[in-house]
Amino acid sequence: MMPGIGGAQSPGGQTLQAHGGYLLRLESFSGLELLRLAREALALDGAMGATGLQVSVNRRRKVVRLAYVGPFTVGRQGAHWYAAHHALPRLLSRAANVTVQAYVYDPDEGEQVIAYGNGRRVGGERVVYEDVELPVPLDEMDDAAFKYMQERWPMGHLAYVFGLTRKALLRLPRVAPGHELALEDRDAEGAAILEALLPTCQAALPESDAL
């Protein structure tokens, strides 16, 4: 089994690199105190050196990705950091009363999704690409069959739940509206930025937000 069968292409045609983070559907950031929760979660996870929180939003589906900016989240090893550090999903799932998914996507190894609701782990699944049993050799699979197989994996299933394609979900860190919040920012300033990313009252959105 060749690695890389989980790969997805970016808009420029390059294969996406490994990444991880936290995903949730959210109507609004209003009253959530996201920066305070992010700082509290870092302390609980014992993570040092983080400088920011990257927030990416698909406005049409109201899907939000959160990822720390710091030395421990860089590269493949940084993507896998999210497999074991779940303080923010625990806190956020309780504060926002939503399900929060911690995820790892590594196109050369596998993908994993771990769900939290009301502060507790409520599910999860993992696929290791080299362990996947193919009905036919990879080079004999047509595009439709290959896409169907990928959509049944954790990131594909989660994309379906969010109303997105798997490719759109995997591209979320790159092409969605987003902003890096400095963790030392005043909470009120961060709240204003978040409100602009996911307005409470939304007008018609441009097609670029559809992904």
Per-residue pLDDT averaged across 161-181, rounded? 92
Reported pTM: 0.88
* CB hemisphere CA count around 58 (13 angstroms): 23
What does residue 67 show for φ and ψ, rounded to 5 degrees? -150, 135
Q: Is the pLDDT of residue 201 over 60?
A: no
User: Distance of alpha carbon 144 from its chain centroid, rounded?
Assistant: 25
Per-residue pLDDT averaged across 167-177, rounded? 89
Task: Kindly state the DSSP code that residue 164 receives in the 8-state scheme.
Answer: S
Highest-scoring range by mean pLDDT, 90-94, 143-147, 192-196: 90-94
Burial of 8 (0-12, 13-18, 19+ CB in 10 A): middle
pLDDT tens-digit readout, 9-51: 433 445 689 999 999 999 999 999 999 999 999 999 999 999 9
Q: Which residues face 126 on adjacent strands? A: 112
Crossing angle, helix 187-197 and helix 34-45, to 10 degrees? Answer: 110
Per-residue pLDDT averaged across 71-83, rounded? 96
pLDDT at 9: 46
